[in-house]
Amino acid sequence: MSVQQNSRIADWIRINASTVPNRDCFVTGTVSYTFGEVNSRVNRIASHLRRMGVGKGDRVALFATDSPQYVETLLACMKLGAVYVPLNFRLAKPELQTLLRTAGAKVLFFSDRYTDMVRAVDVPGLTATISYDSASGDESYEALVAGGDDVEIDTPVSDDELVCLAFTSGTTALPKGVMHSQRMAKHMVMQCIVERRMTNISFHYSAAPLFHVGGMLYTLAGVARGHTSLVLPAFDAATVAHWMANRGLDGVFLVPTMIDTLLHEPAVVTGDFSKLGSIGYGAAPMSPSLLRRAMDRFHCDFMNMFGAGTEAGLQTVLTPEDHRLALDGQEHLLGSIGKAGMGVVLRLCDPDDTAGLNDVPDGEVGEIVTRSDAVMSGYLDQPEETAKVIVDGWFRGGDMAWRDKDGYLYLSGRKKDMIIRGGENIYPVEIEDVLGRFPGVREVAVVGVPDEHWGEVVRAHIVLESGARLDEDAVRAYCRDRLAGYKVPAVFHVDEDLPRNASGKVLKRTLRAV
């Protein structure tokens, strides 16, 4: 039987280790790693993992802040044909355990700050824990590097095979594990390189964490293109402002909340941004007023990158040329998400027709429906949920928009009630489930409400049992023990009752307007 000779993501670091071995691949501010060094370290990690029994299809989870070592782990998995599972480092212990069990993780890499949580989880089949920072796990990362062999591992992986399992949620009874094939990951990276106009001499920073599809793709784009990536443990406004103004970054990707924060940094107020070529933004709504302030300060190209990253990749782009048209008088374009991105066939369809796909006319709100190589293979072990969003090969994720006569798209909310706070997806049912178990709470409904800084914040509407009183400090502490911090409601609103329609369903659109 012949083996499919497709290109592989694992080849990218190997290629650039040969062509530009001495060019910096990753820079952290305190240390840098060349392409040659990274490939050697990746080979050593991969060989050591193979000796530990990790092979093709095995699940390797990562629960850590960003670092070059995190990316090396992804690449080692690629060389072995293992499936990497990036986990949100803000998860609470019950969420972490649920996702590790659902994924069937065999090995877990983690940062030391999460040692207590890692030791507390009970995950059948988890054979080893590896600390990036010390020996607090079964192994330390640098011990794996030191003990590994610098030999190329060439595992055949076809385009249809899985390389990543990324979760959309953490506390529901059946969290959705999004299955990324090699074809999907390769296409998303190529979209990133083309739409962000990356070159082999770019120096780029993505503020999206590596557990996010956005953070992962921007960093892998650097590995593929052969350019340098700045990798920081987490977004810090002062540090990023310094690198933007003084250290030669020519491209960054930021969530709108981060842009708002940066605009108040002294280094941004007084800095020189003549080397900064472009800012890509996305992952959350950005108000035209904030975008205008950013454009006035940075004087570089801007690109709005919109999509359903975890499940369907990049969908639309508002290009630098579109932004310049806005500056020339077409200001309405600042509120647009642009037009379909590279390789994306996009339609706006009737959201109420769940069985078929019927297009709506221009000017009418419809559901964004796309087809591309960046669409997921489906949800892990959830065929019914998969069938709800993938219809005849088309992905329908619930984002609503309308198209103007020139073909530009404008968001009009979401079919689902998902909340996006600072680029983080929040599902109300998770929070409602937790709050519903708090003593004295009779009923709860969670909605997202606009916020200039975060894009949206969580507001919980609570109906109490007769005679009960809400202690906000206690309920916040209760939530923080059971939910990631960003999911804890910013506002608690006590109601006598919740608005409902004739069938008794809570009218969340009415609650949002309160």
Residue ranges making up the domain that contains 135: 9-181
> pLDDT tier at 504 (50, 70, 90 boundaries)?
low
pLDDT at 423: 84
Cβ–Cβ under 8 Å, residues 103 and 61: yes
User: pTM (2 decimals)?
Assistant: 0.85
User: Which region among 78-82, 134-138, 342-346, 506-510 has the lowest average model confidence (pLDDT)?
Assistant: 134-138
Report the run of H or E that residue 395 belongs to, with start and end: strand 394-403
Assigned domain for 139 exists: yes
pLDDT higher for 5 or 32? 32
Q: Tell me: pLDDT of 162 over 80.
A: yes
Length of the chain: 514
How many CB atoms lie under 10 A from the CB of residue 125? Answer: 12
pLDDT tens string 437-492: 899 998 889 999 999 899 999 999 999 988 999 999 999 999 999 999 999 999 99
Helices assigned H by DSSP within 3-91: 9-19, 35-51, 68-80
Assigned domain for 442 exists: yes
Assigned domain for 223 exists: no
Q: Kindly write down the DSSP assignment for every residue of 170-195, as one continuous string.
A: SSSSS--EEEEEHHHHHHHHHHHHHH
Q: How confident is the prediction for the chain on average, in pLDDT?
A: 91
Q: How many domains does the chain have?
A: 2
Instruction: Show which of 181, 213, 246 is a domain's final residue.
Output: 181
Separation of alpha carbons 487 and 71, rounded Å: 27
pLDDT at 109: 97
Can you state the angle between helices 428-435 and 472-482, rounded to 10 degrees? 120
Report the run of H or E that residue 426 belongs to, with start and end: strand 424-426
Assigned domain for 26 exists: yes
- The DSSP bridge partners found for residue 60 are 84, 107
pLDDT at 351: 85
Residue 73's CATH number: 3.40.50.12780
Assigned domain for 296 exists: no
Instruction: Look up residue 422 and give its two tokens.
Output: 């600072």
Assigned domain for 102 exists: yes
The whole-number average pLDDT for the span 193-209 is 95
pLDDT at 413: 66
Assigned domain for 344 exists: no
Phi–psi pair at 437, nearest 5 degrees: -95, 0
pLDDT at 419: 87
Instruction: Show which of 125, 148, 181 is a domain's final residue.
Output: 181
The residue written with tokens 């290629």 in the block is 15
3-state secondary structure of 108: strand
pLDDT tens string 280-331: 998 776 778 889 899 999 999 999 999 987 999 999 999 999 999 998 999 8
Separation of alpha carbons 269 and 227, rounded Å: 28
Cβ–Cβ under 8 Å, residues 25 and 236: no
Residue 435's CATH number: 3.30.300.30
Q: Tell me: pLDDT of 17 over 80.
A: yes
Assigned domain for 174 exists: yes
Instruction: Show which of 181, 201, 234 is a domain's final residue.
Output: 181
